Structure 1
Amino acid sequence: MNGHRSVILWFTGLSGAGKSTIAHAVEAQLHQQGCRTYVLDGDNIRHGLSKDLGFEDADRKENIRRIAEVAKLMLDAGSITLTAFISPFRLERELARRAVADGDFIEIYCKCDLRVCEQRDVKGLYQKARLGEIAHFTGISSPYESPETPEIVIDTNQMSIEECSAHILNHLKIMGILPPCAI
């Protein structure tokens, strides 16, 4: 009915890697083509559904579980759901993947060097974390487990937002999520 498959696009990477920026760029292009889309990110999840959670490991795991459940509901409703979260632990990303049918979860690794993420940090969060002012900060005082076999890798050190978006959209066509004539 929508002219496209519903799917979960799961953007993961360090803070400052470009997850939300690229997810919104991809979403805008998909929406322009008539696709039903929605972006889930820290702005709309952490201020509502997960406002009761902190950033310790147990809370991060619960946050990802909640996001996966919402994304699954949106998948069932026929949307292309783009989630943009650090989601630092492989196990939680794998649990999110296993919650849906094969092919309905596409992990997109926004690969970016820590030093570049720190340079992009306009809020100064990395500096505060290095000074011990922020506990449990991914990449500094809390681990980030890079994906081992993501469907898509975008190197945000080297690629522009436009190049990242085009790369993702091309993969969606190749994977049969979008019709070949789309985008």
Structure 2
Amino acid sequence: MSKSTNITWQNTQVSKQQRQTLAGHRSPVLWFTGLSGSGKSTIANAVAQRLYEEQVNSYVLDGDNMRFGLNSNLGFSAADRQENIRRVGEVSKLFVDAGVITLTAFISPYQADRDQVRDLLAAGEFVEIFVDTPLAVCEERDVKQLYAKARRGDIKGFTGIDAPYEAPTQPEITIDTSKQPLSESVEQIMRYLTNHGYLDLSA
């Protein structure tokens, strides 16, 4: 519940639809969720590069990067994870309003938190992308050695080890990076955006 009082929503003179028309495309949130090491950030950045080449405005919100700034005061408790995602959801909503395709790469382990972000947006503006890479593959990658630390008990509450991950029940897109190369994952997402009219305002 908001603690702010005596506030009134200020409408802007330029609408979301006008910004999208100026950009020439719609502005959904592409929400990448999955275990640490699943490939969320890698795919999100590759899609952003492809969108740039297609002259489409986009921006990547990365889990670690957000914790350097806006969410630097949050830890990894269930409550802090919830607040982390809530803030990211609100920022994403602003990007949607600005006419920018937003790609978010967050573990976001709880279905309720992801659903809360979906509920912030209009129908069709939230595209949940489940990077469904098996835990064993994520551990093999373990570039940051986080799984190794969690297995030793140096990190507590690590998703997939001693904290739960609730897989999406009905994601718009599912990707398993252990079974397909990065280029194919990017094409899968680009096909979805094209086929569902996100890149063509006349669709």
Question: Shorter chain as normaliser: what TM range?
Answer: over 0.9
Cα deviation, residue 179, structure 1:
2.8
Could you tell me which residue of structure 2 aligns to residue 133 of structure 1? 154
Matched, 1:26 2:47: yes
Amino acid at match of 2:102: T
Q: Which residue pairs with 1:11 in the alignment? A: 32
Larger Cα Rg: Structure 1 or Structure 2? Answer: 2
User: Any unmatched runs of 5+ in structure 2?
Assistant: 1-21
Paired residue for 1:103, among 113, 124, 138?
Answer: 124
**Is it true that 1:80 corresponds to 2:126 in the alignment?**
no
Kindly provide the CA deviation profile for residues 4-28 of structure 1, in whole angstroms up to 9, marking residues without a partner as x: 1011000000000000000000000
1:158 paired residue number = 179
Q: Choose the corresponding residue for 2:168, options 147, 161, 164.
A: 147
Q: What whole-Å deviation, never above 9, does each CA across 1:19-72 have from its counterpart, x for those lacking one?
A: 000000000000111111100002420100000000111000000000000000
Residue 40 of structure 1 pairs with residue 40 of structure 2? no
CA distance in 2, matches of 1:168, 1:43: 23
SS in 1 for 2:129: strand
Which of 172, 179, 182 is the matching residue for 2:193? 172
SS at match of 1:109: strand
Query: What's the counterpart of residue 6 of structure 2?
Result: none
| Paired residues of 2:26 and 2:200 also in contact (CA < 8 A) | no
1:2 is matched with which residue: 4, 23, 26? 23
Q: CA RMSD in A?
A: 1.0
* Equivalent residues of 2:132, 2:176 under 8 A apart: yes
Cα drift, residue 86 of structure 1: 0.2
Match of 1:60 among 81, 87, 98: 81
Q: Which runs of 4+ in 1 moved over 2 A?
A: none
Work out the CA distance in 1 between the residues paired with 2:186 and 2:37: 17
Letter in structure 2 aligned against 1:178: L
Number of equivalences:
180
Length-normalised TM-score, structure 1: 0.96
Higher mean alpha-carbon deviation, 142-151 vs 123-132, is at 123-132
TM-score (norm 2): 0.87
Q: Are residue 124 (structure 1) and residue 145 (structure 2) matched?
A: yes
